[in-house]
Structure 1
Amino acid sequence: MTLTREQGILRAFAQLADTLVDDYDVVDLLQNLVDLSSRFLGATASGVMLADEHGDLDVIASTSEASRLVEVMQLSAYAGPCIESFETGAVVSVADIVQVPDRWHAFRDRALEQGFVAIDAIPLRLRTQTIGTLNLFRDRVGDLPEDDLVAAQAFADVATIGILHQRSLAESDAIRRQLQFALNSRIIIEQAKGVVAQTRGVPIDQAFTLIRDYARRNQRGISLVASDIVERRLGL
């Protein structure tokens, strides 16, 4: 049966909700978020950035592990739509990256060089607290349809609730530990990518795909699989 786009989005919400189980893996949740966002919201590429305990944004999940996407997001974390969305807690949409302010020149130049011409940065927020951003990159100039923006914010909200699951906003220490766990998991994943790339003789992007696919086939968390690879308990 062929699903309509609306049916697909509803199933995407159900898939995200299914991730919120006991001992869920934050990285898996966010990886599902970016994959579903690109599939249903017309993004060429997408990624999630979370803030560490110092308020600095770092890439946690992306549809591609290629350096081009990660680098563009990191530049935007210093001066660009991502950091502005994080600091204001509001959606920042850029229909034509050529037109961004001069203070964002490093982000603009690199994004255009990599073929990205439009971006929407959506805050991961709960009430007044913003913990990161969902970033949708597109290869065509123009505004994202309003319905897509609404869906993107809803996706981001589900992910935020997941990250802060069973945590009170007053328990800031617990929240920081949860976010730091996600950031630490990313470091392990980076190391595992390097191991797989070297042992299998494949590019970094393909190495991550091998890790992710193995985790999904075996119903294990990506960070757990990565840890086993780094500790040489698992070979792919």
Structure 2
Amino acid sequence: MGRESAVYAAFASLTASITEDLGPDRVVDTLSSECVRLLPIDSMEVFLPGLKLERYPAVTEEGPALESFETGRDIAVGDLSSAVSRWPGYVDRMAGLGYAAVSALPMRAEDEIVGAITFLSTRSAVLSTEDRRLGQALADVASLCLVQQRELRHYRTLSEQLQTALDSRIIIEQAKGVLAERSGVSVSAAFQRMRAFARSTNRKLADVAHGVVDGALDTEEFLRRRVR
């Protein structure tokens, strides 16, 4: 596959995470594998404190990823040994792993910076302008996908909460009618008795209502109770 076709395939793989409802880990894995495949690097790291994903650190030591995330700028160091006073701990760790050069790019989603990616090389060299642009484009697309997934998860959770609340409201209304009929009191009075019973027994009102409707709960006792 030619480079141009490979680049198109990389972007297609990233954007597919939205339509196929893939998890954030899949997006980051795709970003990592495509960057290593398309760019002259030996490895890469992903730093995503803005999304709070379990697999990716919320905090990190000194280094280019943290600096790129905080400043929103790209960083390129062709010789890591020259940055020992800038990031002493980081340079020592990377040198121990055999890396000699590093580049970092912010992960942007519109006006939000969600993290940064770090490109690592065993050779003392910096990425070309073209390669940095490609890396930044891949990072930005991945960032947009991750933020879109975050929004989808938020709205899905909200929808589930609203549905649960609606279901509870419906079963409570049904239980009020059942109790009113059994006790010969108004619907309002039946609700007061049901709520008092739920409080006195430390149960959720919806659970009490389910018990009333499906007959699993003996209602004779709290039908006789006085509402406090």
Structure 2 length normalisation: TM-score? Answer: 0.61
Deviation, structure 1 residue 28: 0.5
Match of 1:145 among 128, 136, 140: 128
Q: Which moved more, 1:123-132 or 1:77-86?
A: 123-132
Which 4+ residue blocks in structure 1 deviate beyond 6 angstroms?
A: none
Query: What residue number does 1:165 align with?
Result: 148
Is this contact kept in 1: 2:100–2:123, CA < 8 A? Answer: yes
* Pairing 1:133–2:116 present: yes
Distance 1:52 1:167, change over 3 A: closer
Query: How many angstroms apart in 1 are the aligned matches of 2:129 and 2:25?
Result: 28
Q: How does 1:176-215 map to 2 (within 5 A)?
A: none
Is this contact kept in 2: 1:46–1:136, CA < 8 A? Answer: yes
Is this contact kept in 2: 1:48–1:132, CA < 8 A? Answer: yes
Query: How many angstroms apart in 2 are the aligned matches of 1:80 and 1:134?
Result: 11
Aligned-pair identity in percent equals 29
Structure 1 length normalisation: TM-score? Answer: 0.59
In structure 2, stretches of 5+ residues that fail to align are 158-228
Match of 1:115 among 98, 102, 107: 98
Is this contact kept in 1: 2:50–2:113, CA < 8 A? Answer: no
Deviation, structure 1 residue 127: 3.1
In structure 1, stretches of 5+ residues that fail to align are 61-73, 178-236
Amino acid at match of 2:138: F
Amino acid at match of 1:46: M
* Pairing 1:99–2:82 present: yes
Deviation, structure 1 residue 153: 0.4
Give the length in aligned residue pairs: 155
- SS of the aligned residue for 1:124 comes to strand
Is this contact kept in 1: 2:42–2:121, CA < 8 A? Answer: yes
Query: What residue number does 1:204 align with?
Result: none
Deviation, structure 1 residue 103: 3.9
Query: What residue number does 2:72 align with?
Result: 89
RCO (CA 8 Å, sep 6+): is it higher in 1 or 2?
Answer: 1
